[in-house]
Every structure is written in C-alpha cells, then in structure tokens.
Structure 1
Amino acid sequence: MIHLRLSLPSDLAESVIEELRSDPAVSSLSRLPGACVRPEGGDVIMVDVAREAANAVIERLHALGVGVEGTVHIEDVGAWFSRPAFEAERLAPGSSADAVVWADVTYRSYEESELNWTYGAFLTLATLIAAIAIVLDSQILTIGAMVIGPEFAPIAALGVALVRRRPALLRRAASTLAIGFVLAIALTTLAALAARALGWVTVEQVTADRPATGFIYTPDKWSFIVAVIAAAAGVLSLTSARVGGLSGVFISVTTVPAAGNIALGLAFGLSQETYGSSAQLLLNISAMAVAGWLTLLLQQQVWKRILHRRERFATSG
C-alpha cells in the first residue's frame, strides 16, 4: 500500500478529488480544506492506493499539474489493516512486491547519485581498506571494502536515467562515478607512497603470490557474468517492495578492490597490476550498468502491459 499526501491550491483540489474518487485502487481519501500555509489557503489531500496502481495514479496527478502547483509526498505503508485496502490490492492487477513506483525510484536515484563529501569519504575509505587487503592478501578485508563502497547507487542510476530518459541524471551519475573513483584512487596512491617511504609496504609484498586476492587484477568471463547477475539482483532489490540481498551485491562485484589495486600499482610503478585492475574496474562498472538498464527496461515493459489491464480494471470499476 502507498500513501500519498498532496498539498495543492484549493482551485485544483476539486478536480483531483474527482479523479481519485473514481479510482477503485484508492482505498481511502481525505481532504483538509484550507489546511495549507504554503500554498496559502490550499488544501491537503491524503490518499491510500494499492502499490500496483500507484504509477497510474501518480501519472494522472502529474497530468493535472499537482507537481507543478503543489507537492506530492509518497511513502510506503509499513503495516495496515483495512478491508477496503485489501479489496483494492486484490483487484488491482499484478503483485505489490513486483510493482515499481517509478517516481520513488527516480527520486532516490537523483538523491543517491549526488557527488558529495559523504560519498567521496566512503569510497576513499573503502579503497584504502581494499589496498590494505591486497597487501595482506586478506579476503575478509576485501569483503569489508566491498560492503563499505557506495558506488552501486550511481551505477544503478545510470540504468534509471536511460530507461526514464533523464539525461541530467545520466550526467550526474556518470560524473559521480568518474570523479569519485579518480579521487579515491589518487588519495589511496598518496597513502601507498607514504607507506612505501616509511617502509611499511614493500614492492615484494605487492608483487608476491596472492591466492586470496589475485583475481582483482585478472578480469575474465566470470567477472563479467557475476557483475551482470549481481547488478540485476541489486536493481530488483532497489525497485521491489521486498528489499533484500543488496549487501550480497556489494560483496559480489570487484570494483572498489580493483580501485585499491590501481592505487598500489601507481605507487609502486607496477604496470601489469595497474592495467589489469583498470580493466577489471571498467569491465565490472560497464557490465553492472548494462545489466541494470536491461533489468529496469524489462520491468518497465512488463508493467506497461499490466497498466493496460489496470486501465480496463479502473474503467470497469
């Protein structure tokens, strides 16, 4: 179930009420006339709608100009009990767990792909841990670096931008990825140079046989396959009402560890490590971006068909 709270001018409220009242997917509808301070004297409308039908309802509200003249607040209802709501969900086509609320997904993509201090700090810290993991040949530290890394959000945003045709989001996510990794690799390279100068890390440690972390700079077909599968799972976790398994996505894909190894390769002048890890990083990001886009595209096409069924349902209701 999705709860919508609308703040809008009173002259627009009547047409919105009529539009929502006729929709069988709407289980409850309330209006508080004149409750708004901004827009001054405007109305507040609260509505509960079956998640499966949320996209259609939100699109119709957008067509009425609610998002231009007022505000639409969207939130998931964690728990509820209501026979009308149960009937609305039972009659609406599709499953609530499978439904993608595109307005919510798009907003979160903009929010989470912003290049800010927090994103840069997390990515840099993750890359530093990855570099230490490589020196120590530690799988545990490698996994820790993968979990800390925040790079999946802008990678997923690339797919959202392509599917929803948002060029501004595409530019935002791409620049966040590029600048974030350049910054993290540069700072980790400086840290590696300092460790080398202090004698904490030697070239022999970096070039030694590393059975636990050698995969980081040797990309192969399995790197691509795992990245594709993990990205598809990650996108499903982000778009589904049943969120789960996202941490497994972070652990599965070699992005941050590759960035850490690039930094070590630059600090110690090891071209093979640098080139191999760069190929691994680019391969994984590209595979995840394409897989995320294809998964979202498939979801959109499936829900377009469900939307046609929903329109027939709304008309008959």
Structure 2
Amino acid sequence: MLHLRIMAPAAMTDEILDDLDSDCAVSGLTVFRGAAVRPPGDLIMAQVAREGANDIVERLRERKVHQQGSIELANVDTWLSRKGFEAEVRTPGSSSDAVVWAQVAQRAYEDTELNWTYLSFLTLATVIASIAIITDSEILTVGAMVLGPEFGAVAALGVALVRKRYMLLQLAIRTLVAGFVAAIGVTILLALVGRGLGWITLDDVIGPRPNTAFIYTPDKWSFIVAVIAGAAGVLSITSAKSLGMAGVFISVTTVPAAGNIALGVVFLNGSTIWGSVAQLFVNVAGMALAGWLTLVLQERLWSRVSVRRARHLVVPRRML
C-alpha cells in the first residue's frame, strides 16, 4: 500500500478527484480545499494499491500536476483496512512485484549524486580492499565489498536507458568514473606512504595470494556472477522486498579491483594493473547489462498489467 499526496491548483481538484475515485486501486480518498499555501490550492490524499500506482502517476503527469503542484508517494509499512485489502485484490498484479517507476527514478537520481558521503564510502572501501589484498584476507575483502556504494550508480545506468533519461545516464557515468578515480588516487597516496615506511613490499602485491587472486584474474565466471548480481540488485531496488542487497554487494569485486589497481600503480606492475582494470570493467559491464535487461523485462511485464487495468477501469465508467 502507498500513500499518495497531491498539492494541486483548485481548478484541477475536481478532475483529479473524479479520476482517483473511479480507479479500482484507490481505497481511500481525502481532500482539504484551500489547505495548500505554496503553491496555493488544495491538498488531496489517497491510499493506493502499489500495483496501480504507475497508471495513476502517469495520468497525473499528463495533467501536468507535477508542474503546477506536487505529487508525493510514500510506502505504508503497516496498514489495517478492509477497503485497502479489497483494492489490492481488485488491482491486477502483485504488490511485491510491482515496479513504481517514480520511486525507482527518484532513488536512481539520489544514488548517482556525487557528494562527500559517496566519495568517502568508496574511498574507505577501496583502502580496506587494498589492505585485504596485502594481507590476503577474505574477511576484509567482503567488508570492502559491502561498504562500497557504487551499485546504486551502476543500477542507475539501466534505469536511465530504459526510461530514456539521458541526463541520469550522464550523472551515473560521471559518478562512477569520478568516484573510482578519486578512491584509487587516495589509495595510491596511502600505499606510497606504506611503501616508504616499509609496510608494503612488491611481494605483497605480486606474491601468492590464494584467497584474493580472483581480484585481478577475470574469467567467464566473473562476468556470469556480475550478471546474476546485477539482476538480483535491480530486483531488490524495484521490488517492495529488498532482502538481497547485501548478497549483491558481496558477490561483485569492483571495489577490490580498484584497490588492487592502486597497489599496482604504486609498484608499477602492469599485470596487476591491467588484470584489475579488466576485472573492474567486466563487473561493471555485467551488472549494468543485467540491470538494463531486468528493467526492460519488468517494464514490458508491467505494461501488460497496465492494459489489463485499463480494461477493468472501462467497465465502471460505462456504468456511471
């Protein structure tokens, strides 16, 4: 169940109310006339079955409500309502499977913002990954994978292509490139300090590392895992259930590869650098491709659900 809140000019209110009242996905509807001060107008609130949110938002956008007022959607974690239950039963689709594109796009823009928090987490994760490589520690490698924030920007690549938001595509690419360049740069400086103090040697970088050798040796399994992880990650983002995100972070080796690139640069070891660059590219490409394909499939499936909903809505309108 979603809570829908609309601020709209008074001239639009009656049309919006009629549209919402005739939609089978709406279980509750309230209007406060004259309640909105900026912009001046009315406040409309509704309880909407998650499965029907896309069609409602699209109709509101066609009326340009978002340009003259605002449209807000919020998840309702706990609700008790017979009418709400009946609305979910009437509305085609499953609540957990429903993709609310407005929420997905909003999250994609937030995850691609190149800010201090993103750069800090990515840098810290890359530094931890480099320490994991030096100590050949699987535990630290997993910790670096979980700490890295880059998956949101990778998933945004697919969202941008599917929803044709090319500004989002540019932002996602900028965030990924700038983020990894900054993280690798800081890690290189710290590794140089460690080398100067004698804490890191060439043998630590190119010597036998049975637990972390996969970081710079990409193969077909690297791509397969990235594809599976990318699909699972996008499903976690678009679904009402997001239990699989931690597993996605642990599955891919983007951050560890970045840490290994930094160590390779410090010791000017070409095989380490290019092996890690290949691993990083394979993982990002695999996740981006899988994310895009998953979103395309979801969009096509939900377009069919929208058609079914349209057929359901035609009947009550004719009966009026």
What is the TM-score when the length of structure 2 is the normalising length? 0.98
Q: In structure 2, how many angstroms separate the alpha carbons of the residues matched to 1:99 and 1:242?
A: 10
Q: In the alignment, what sits opposite 2:4?
A: 4
Structure 2, unaligned stretches of length 5 or more?
none
Q: In structure 1, how many angstroms separate the alpha carbons of the residues matched to 2:170 and 2:254?
A: 20
State the AA in 1 paired with 2:24.
P
1:95-114 mapped onto 2 (5 Å cutoff): 95-114=94-113
1:316 is the counterpart of 2:278: no
1:263-278 mapped onto 2 (5 Å cutoff): 263-278=262-277
Q: In the alignment, what sits opposite 1:187?
A: 186
1:124 is the counterpart of 2:123: yes
Q: Displaced runs of 4+ in structure 1, greater than 3 A?
A: none
Q: In structure 1, how many angstroms separate the alpha carbons of the residues matched to 2:297 and 2:170?
A: 23
How far apart are residue 61 of structure 1 and its match? 0.8
1:145 is the counterpart of 2:144: yes
Q: In structure 2, how many angstroms separate the alpha carbons of the residues matched to 1:122 and 1:28?
A: 42
How far apart are residue 43 of structure 1 and its match? 0.6
Identity %: 58
How far apart are residue 84 of structure 1 and its match? 1.2
1:56-87 per-residue CA deviation (whole Å, 9 max, x = no partner) reads 01101111111010011111111111111111
Q: In structure 1, how many angstroms separate the alpha carbons of the residues matched to 2:204 and 2:283?
A: 26
CA RMSD across the alignment? 0.7
1:161-200 mapped onto 2 (5 Å cutoff): 161-200=160-199
Q: In the alignment, what sits opposite 2:27?
A: 27
1:74-113 mapped onto 2 (5 Å cutoff): 74-113=73-112
1:283-302 mapped onto 2 (5 Å cutoff): 283-302=282-301
Q: In structure 2, how many angstroms separate the alpha carbons of the residues matched to 1:25 and 1:208?
A: 61
Q: In the alignment, what sits opposite 1:134?
A: 133
State the AA in 2 paired with 1:218.
T
Secondary structure in 2 matching 1:46? strand
Structure 1, unaligned stretches of length 5 or more?
none
Secondary structure in 2 matching 1:34? strand
How far apart are residue 12 of structure 1 and its match? 1.2
Q: In the alignment, what sits opposite 1:16?
A: 16
Provide the aligned length of Structure 1 versus Structure 2: 316
How far apart are residue 316 of structure 1 and its match? 1.9
Contact 1:25/1:314, CA 8 A, preserved across alignment:
no
Secondary structure in 2 matching 1:74? strand
How far apart are residue 315 of structure 1 and its match? 1.4
How far apart are residue 206 of structure 1 and its match? 1.5
Q: In structure 1, how many angstroms separate the alpha carbons of the residues matched to 2:24 and 2:121?
A: 45
How far apart are residue 245 of structure 1 and its match? 1.0
Contact 1:138/1:213, CA 8 A, preserved across alignment:
yes
Q: In the alignment, what sits opposite 1:58?
A: 57
How far apart are residue 11 of structure 1 and its match? 1.2
1:118-145 per-residue CA deviation (whole Å, 9 max, x = no partner) reads 1011100000000000000000000000
How far apart are residue 112 of structure 1 and its match? 1.1
State the AA in 2 paired with 1:8.
A
How far apart are residue 242 of structure 1 and its match? 1.2
1:242 is the counterpart of 2:241: yes
